[in-house]
Amino acid sequence: MHFATQVARLLHDEHLKTIALTNRLEELAAGRRARKTPAADDTDLRGILDDLIVSLEQETEHHFAFEEENIFPRLEALGDGMISQILRHEHQLIRELAGDLLPLARQSRRDGFDDEAWRRFRQLVLELVERQIAHIQKEEMGLLPALDGLLEETQDGELAMLYVQG
């Protein structure tokens, strides 16, 4: 997709990165290897867990907070609060899910999975994948195109710098 604003392009690029991770997570949790609890020394798994932890602790929260603090208020000021309300709600659901998933991912990264932890991890990951993909679709179809008409060039540059520095 092509977006006119720097902010929309930055958020879009982050969406692509999240989609790539969700694809890896879905393969891990639902693919052919998912039936068997992985070994603690599985380096591919450890890499995915590292990426998941960083994504949920840093990237996702940064992305959500930026939108909530800098984008949604602008939309609401123009009387377009419905999309903001929906996205805020989805942010909260994803944050709650991350609150359940992160401790399990950290512990499993450190100690490996037992059968019950693997079952719970897979369940949480598949829910995360579903929520993230649906959320990204809404942002790609509704929020990002709206930014092209919402932000003036100066505002766009300032917000893009704020996002990158964040």
pLDDT 10s digits, 93-145: 999 999 999 999 999 999 999 999 999 999 999 999 999 999 999 999 999 99
Task: From 126, 86, 108, select the one nearest 42 (Cα to Cα).
Answer: 108
Biggest distance spanned by C-alpha atoms of the chain: 54
pLDDT of 80 reads 82
- In this predicted structure, the answer to whether residue 1 has a pLDDT above a threshold of 90 is no
How distant, in Å, are the alpha carbons of 32, 88, 124, 131 from that of 138?
A: 30, 12, 21, 11
Domains and CATH numbers, the chain: 6-165 (1.20.120.520)
Instruction: Note the pLDDT tens digit of each residue in 61-101.
Output: 999 999 999 999 999 998 888 999 999 999 999 999 999 99
Q: What is the mean pLDDT of residues 18-33?
A: 94
pLDDT above 90 (res 41): no
Angle at which helices 6-30 and 153-165 pack, to 10 degrees? 40
> What is the pLDDT confidence band of residue 163, given thresholds at 50, 70 and 90?
very high
- Cα 159 from Cα 70, distance rounded (Å): 8
